[in-house]
A and B are shown apart, each in its own frame.
Chain A
Amino acid sequence: MFLAIMLIVAQTAVLLAISPFLVGLIRKVKARLQLRRGASVLQPYADLAKLFQKQPLLSTTTSWIFTATPYIVFGSTLTAGLLVPTFTSQTPMNFAGNIIALVYLLALGTFFLILAGLDTGSVFGGMGSSREAIVASLAEPAMILAIFAIALTNGSTNVSTIVHKTALLEGIVTDPSPHLMALAALFIVALAETGRVPVDNPATHLELTMIHEAMLLEYSGRYLALLEWAAGLKLAVFLSLIANVFAPWGIATTVTPSAMGIGLLAYIVKTAALAIFIGVIECMFAKLRLFRVTDLLGVAFILALLGLLFFYILRS
């Protein structure tokens, strides 16, 4: 029990600590590829610290929903993070929910963010909310099918169990094609859900092209800090998911200090590599028009479906 609580605390701390780093790393990679020097990788930490100290300014139009949303989004994203293994394959919170619970916990945050966007009474907030609703609607079915294709190979829908089994090489993959298709689908979904190019542009300064940022437009001070942190956490959750489900290399399968140390190191390297990859993608592609996003997420859905089909065909 004590060990479980310690592991939960450690995982919370790791997620909280690594998420600003991942955001900073993507920015740095983008800057270097654009031949700029860019801000330090640690800049997001400084931003958060600064934002927490500022006094927030609230719109007079808003209700309690607006002030409660940052806490709900922060809490739900972090809870979702506890369901995904990071440095150790056996997360203590594994019993609390499987991949469906993870998807719906993230949806809880999305729901309240959409409400907060509408609450300000500004056109930009409403626009962001409306767009977030359509992107989330299209991403979620693809995500569930993709995960299901992987779950079939391992006989589990609990992320931690999937990772643990794969790490112990219990679920040896004889043919990797279902996995590869699911990986591609999940990666597209991750880009959409975390608001990266080509679906959304987190660095945009133009309200008309915003999705996620438009909903946060009226936030300031500690509320903004919590929401920025939650956005980073969501990125960390998706990167951990992809890294550990498809490449559980180095993850700690036992509870010994040395295994944990290696696990932590491997985790940082893997997520950093994915973050660099996202940074490269952000430089190579332009943001899609909102109505072209449909096609992209449609592709993700079809890929996941094909993964499922391949699984059954190869098995029979």
Chain B
Amino acid sequence: MLNLVWLLLGGYVAGIVLPFCLPGRPESRRLTSSVAAIVATSAGIVLGILGLTSSEPVTGTLASTIPLLTLSIRVDPLAAFFVFTISVVALAASVYAIGYLQHFEGYASTAKLGALFNAYLLCMTLVILADNAFFFLLAWELMSLLSYFLVVTEHEKAEVRYAGLFYLIMTHVGTAFIVMAFLIFFQTAGSFSFEAFRHPEQPLPEGMRTLVFLMILLGFGTKAGIVPLHVWLPYAHPVAPSHVSAVMSGVMIKTAIYGLIRVYFDFFGGQFPWWWGFTVLFLGATSSLLGVMYALMEHDLKRLLAFHSVENIGIILLGIGAGMIFQSYGLKELAALGLLAALYHTINHALFKALLFLGAGSLLYATQTRNLEEYGGLLRRMPWTGSFFLIGAVSISALPPTNGFVSEWLLFQSLFLSFQIPTVFLKLMLPIAAAILALTSVLALACFAKAFGIAFLARPRSMHARRAEEVPAPMRIGMGILATLCVALGIVPMVVVPLLDRVVAPLAEISITSKVMAIDGWALAPVNVEFSSLSTPALALSLVALAMLGLGLAVALGGRLTTRHSKTWGCGINLTAHMQYTATGFVQPIKRVFSTIYQPTVKLETEFLHESRYFAKRRHFEFHIEPIFEKYLYDPLLAFFATLADRLKIIQAGSLHLYLTYMFVALIVLLLLAV
């Protein structure tokens, strides 16, 4: 298996180096970096499957001369699962990039972009493989920096520079918390190796454990985009090139989920009080609901998708939080079920979110705009992109028989089984979390009905949309891979669940495959078949058969299946594209019902004709939603730091002598402290 790791690393390194070495035309450079990435990701997929099925974790170490930094890797089932997820999404994105990078030709160096993309994927994989805190942080930091460079690809736009800076600052604040948490571990473990973190010489004191819990939550939470640390995400993810957005939103934020599970379930060994789990559950519920609500109001397609990442991270956290609560009460079966649902949703979200971002990239490629209101009627012009996007939309809305439905269903069951918890407070809170999950998923349905309906259906709303053409083959193949997997993972959960159980079993110390699967695997039935069961193959079959029955009835009762065509009835006037329902109009009732959350400001100015107030000359309409977190949390914080920096100006005289004195004093103080 170590050979596979070498192939994986070698592939990515080749992808970084070769585009610069090979002379030749831009097409061949694009192809080189993508082919290298395809080799590496294929190795990653095989590595992931082998790691999931093998009984013993594989380890390897590369000696290094830097003290404390041991380049050691470890492939256990948890790592293997995340390597697999990353590799599948990266594979599709790399295939897609062959076509998509044409877009950047003569405007940004595609060789540089290809190399950066490979380096980024390499670091992300190393984050998962690392078995040493120092090595982990190094890879983590490089991953963040490289993704920053990719985000600012179109740096001549002010919007992109702002997003990049915002991202850079937030991600470093997050990293700082992770560093602190790992340093606390280091104190008692005496080594940076994860093995020592797992089994420290002396256990962490209670207060320190709580501190580590909070720091890890803040640190990884920033990367994952948990509300209220999500503010950077809707800026940074959309402005990157679309195949990079797909990887960032699909899998990079999952490295944070990996970190959370690694620390809470692996390092802490699942030993924690119930309120840790409740905190995670609460943050998950808040993130999922607010994420989808802000997404609904968004009409920039890529920003809309970025907000949905906040939502789905929230859903994953609901699973982890429920798992942690069950774990703290010793309900191991249910803890395993919660974690399993969270991991199932992790891979599902990776697949459909990447698919949707690639779809959004195709729309951008074809129309040069990200504004929903300028699309329209694209299903006729771009049938492949449209159909793939529809599969993604159905999956993210958790509709049967796709993958999103299966994982949300499992999550519902684990929340419903909360009646086994002894505390009445939690017994009530978990079903309420289930109701929030229901509201979230149905709002996601509304949001994607809007996104798909406005972008792909009815008439083209702009010149761009009228002229759009289907995207080149590599882009369609990239989307096709993900769309197929979205459907497949929905219909064959019996293949997925045992594999995920191998990840969960060591963490929750119980294997639940036999408890979750019933009727030879044709149905899922957690934790017994009495309580609940689901068989997506049967549902899919029934859906198809009964839709055919509808067709059969039409033939039997009606006869010939002919149709006539005519214009849509417009009460006697000719309908134009401007008369169609807009995305803004579509969500207006939702905006109004939830106005407490949105705090919308609507401004309508009308300039009337002199002669009569019945005729308007000009109308100006403005509509904003209050960015609550930025206004009430981040702005005061920024203002505070700005004032602080202002005060500190006093000691910054700019004189070299003064600085030398400072350094000398600092040295003395440190020496005194050391003695």
Q: A12–B563 Cα gap in the complex (Å)? A: 28
**Residues of A contacting B546 in the complex (Cβ-Cβ under 8 angstroms):** 12, 74-75, 78-79
**Residues of B contacting A78 in the complex (Cβ-Cβ under 8 angstroms):** 546, 549
Interface presence of A204 (CB below 8 A): no
Interface presence of A222 (CB below 8 A): yes
Residue of A72, A98, A127, A218 touching B533 (CB-CB under 8 A): A98
Nearest CB of A to B298, in Å: 16
Interface presence of A176 (CB below 8 A): no
Residue of A63, A101, A161 touching B457 (CB-CB under 8 A): A63
Find the residue from B436, B549, B554 having the highest chain A CB count within 10 A: B554
Tell whether, in the assembled complex, residue B563 and residue A305 are in contact, meaning their CB atoms are under 8 Å apart.
no
Q: A56–B558 Cα gap in the complex (Å)? A: 11
With A95-B518, A104-B399 already in contact, the answer to whether A123 and B579 are too (CB < 8 A) is yes
**Residues of B contacting A294 in the complex (Cβ-Cβ under 8 angstroms):** 593
**Residues of A contacting B543 in the complex (Cβ-Cβ under 8 angstroms):** 72, 75-76, 79, 105
Interface presence of B586 (CB below 8 A): yes
A-B contact count, CB below 8 Å? 278
With A60-B565, A76-B543, A126-B581 already in contact, the answer to whether A137 and B459 are too (CB < 8 A) is no
Interface presence of B82 (CB below 8 A): no
Tell whether, in the assembled complex, residue B550 and residue A100 are in contact, meaning their CB atoms are under 8 Å apart.
no
In the complex, per-residue mask of A120-145: 1 if CB is within 8 Å of any chain B CB, else 0: 11110111011101101110111111
Nearest CB of B to A106, in Å: 10
Q: A158–B532 Cα gap in the complex (Å)? A: 5
Q: Give the segment of B260-268, B437-445, B502-510 that binds chain A.
A: B437-445
In the complex, per-residue mask of B34-62: 1 if CB is within 8 Å of any chain A CB, else 0: 00000000000000000000000000000
Interface presence of A259 (CB below 8 A): no
Interface presence of A53 (CB below 8 A): yes
Tell whether, in the assembled complex, residue B446 and residue A134 are in contact, meaning their CB atoms are under 8 Å apart.
yes
Tell whether, in the assembled complex, residue A63 and residue B380 are in contact, meaning their CB atoms are under 8 Å apart.
yes
Q: A242–B424 Cα gap in the complex (Å)? A: 28
Q: A274–B436 Cα gap in the complex (Å)? A: 30
Q: Give the segment of A31-39, A110-118, A243-251, A262-270 that binds chain B.
A: A110-118
Interface of B, helix, strand, loop or mixed by DSSP: helix
Interface presence of B551 (CB below 8 A): yes
Residue of A93, A111, A161, A316 touching B445 (CB-CB under 8 A): A111
Interface presence of A258 (CB below 8 A): no
Interface presence of A156 (CB below 8 A): yes
Interface presence of A108 (CB below 8 A): yes
Interface presence of A283 (CB below 8 A): no
Tell whether, in the assembled complex, residue B435 and residue A129 are in contact, meaning their CB atoms are under 8 Å apart.
no
**Residues of A contacting B453 in the complex (Cβ-Cβ under 8 angstroms):** 114-115, 118-119, 129
**Residues of A contacting B450 in the complex (Cβ-Cβ under 8 angstroms):** 133
Interface presence of A82 (CB below 8 A): yes
Interface of A, helix, strand, loop or mixed by DSSP: helix
Tell whether, in the assembled complex, residue A52 and residue B558 are in contact, meaning their CB atoms are under 8 Å apart.
yes
The interface size bin for chain B is 35 or more
**Residues of B contacting A52 in the complex (Cβ-Cβ under 8 angstroms):** 553-554, 557-558
Tell whether, in the assembled complex, residue B457 and residue A93 are in contact, meaning their CB atoms are under 8 Å apart.
no
With A118-B454, A155-B531, A156-B532 already in contact, the answer to whether A104 and B400 are too (CB < 8 A) is yes
Interface presence of B627 (CB below 8 A): no
Tell whether, in the assembled complex, residue B563 and residue A56 are in contact, meaning their CB atoms are under 8 Å apart.
yes
Q: A107–B569 Cα gap in the complex (Å)? A: 28
Tell whether, in the assembled complex, residue B449 and residue A55 are in contact, meaning their CB atoms are under 8 Å apart.
no
Interface presence of B287 (CB below 8 A): no
**Residues of A contacting B443 in the complex (Cβ-Cβ under 8 angstroms):** 137
Nearest CB of B to A140, in Å: 4
With A107-B442, A121-B575, A145-B431 already in contact, the answer to whether A71 and B547 are too (CB < 8 A) is yes
Nearest CB of A to B457, in Å: 4
**Residues of A contacting B523 in the complex (Cβ-Cβ under 8 angstroms):** 95-96
Interface presence of B664 (CB below 8 A): no
**Residues of B contacting A122 in the complex (Cβ-Cβ under 8 angstroms):** 568-570, 575, 580
Known contacts A97-B533, A111-B449, then 13 further A-B pairs from the complex at CB < 8 Å, ordered by chain A residue: A12-B549, A55-B563, A57-B563, A75-B543, A95-B522, A95-B533, A97-B400, A101-B534, A111-B445, A115-B457, A123-B579, A131-B589, A148-B431
Which residue numbers of A lie inside 8 Å of B, CB to CB?
12, 48-49, 52-65, 67, 70-72, 74-76, 78-79, 82, 93-98, 100-101, 103-105, 107-108, 110-111, 114-115, 118-123, 125-127, 129-131, 133-134, 136-138, 140-145, 148, 151-152, 155-158, 161, 217-218, 221-222, 225-226, 290-291, 294, 301, 305, 308-309, 312, 316
Which residue numbers of B lie inside 8 Å of A, CB to CB?
377, 379-380, 386, 390, 394, 397-400, 405, 409, 412-413, 416, 419, 424, 427-428, 431-432, 434-436, 438-439, 442-443, 445-446, 448-450, 452-454, 456-459, 518-519, 522-523, 525, 529-535, 538-539, 542-551, 553-554, 557-570, 575, 577, 579-581, 585-590, 592-593
